[in-house]
Amino acid sequence: MKGLTEKQKNILEFIEEFSEKEGMAPTVYEIADHFDIKTSTVFAHIRALQRKNELTRSSKARSIALTKPKRKPKHMSFMLPIPLLGRINAGLPLDSQEYKEGEFYVDPQILGGIDTAKAFALKIAGESMRDLGIFDEDIVIVKQNDEYKAGDIVVALVDDETTVKSYYPLKGGRIELRPANADFIPQVYPSSQVKLQGVVIALQREY
């Protein structure tokens, strides 16, 4: 890390630790919050680190990636396989048949000790959750839950159609499935019409 300031070194370390723990890169706002600095300052550090070829970043959220990670990638023998199902819809609900495309290997730390039989991976189609950093072609790791809380990003089955949205229970036995994109409107359904299949716990993106 020659030629880097102490703050830049700390930012790189935070990005790597956050990515390893959460399974996705931090946002600029999360970096700013961690170091208690302005987002404009973070952007300046990121541009400097890009010029020094220490990281890459696109216009998409959570797209920061280190070019020279200190930690060695985990060997596949230490990864756990979970089923990779077919694409799901992350826009307005459309017909989306689920089928197993193969297996997807994940870090056991991401699963937090849960049984792999209660986890699966899904490929996203659509941009309705982009403001939460979930984009078309992303793969989300999903954990089957018995309980859900307001704000959870869930995989929901509505009238035999699968979608991913933020979950908000409402009065009167209704459920709001809220997108994270102003181009889409929230959908409200009777709870009897919605079957929650799991909560999104991590995301993986190919660059």
Cβ-based neighbour number of residue 112 at 10 Å: 10
Residue carrying structure tokens 């987002």: 39
Span 29-78, pLDDT tens digits: 899 999 999 999 999 999 999 988 888 887 666 778 888 777 655 554 56
What CATH number corresponds to the domain at position 29?
Answer: 1.10.10.10
Q: How far apart are CA 122 and CA 21, in angstroms?
A: 20
With a pLDDT cut of 90, the percent of the chain lying above it is 41
Residue 1 belongs to a domain: no
Say how many residues make up the chain.
207
Catalytic (active site) residue 128? yes
Of the candidates 19, 17, 130, 104, the one whose C-alpha atom is nearest the C-alpha of residue 65 is 19
Digit-coded pLDDT (tens) for 129-181: 999 989 888 889 999 888 999 999 999 989 878 899 999 999 999 999 999 99
Please tell me whether residues 112 and 167 are part of one structural domain. yes
Catalytic residue among 19, 128, 143, 166: 128
From the list 19, 96, 143, 165, the catalytic residue is 165
Put simply, whether the predicted model's pTM sits higher than 0.75 gets the answer: no
Domain assignment present for residue 18? The answer is yes
pLDDT, tens digit, 9 for 90 and up, residues 95-142: 444 456 777 888 777 787 788 888 888 888 889 999 998 988 888 999
Number of structural domains, the chain? 2
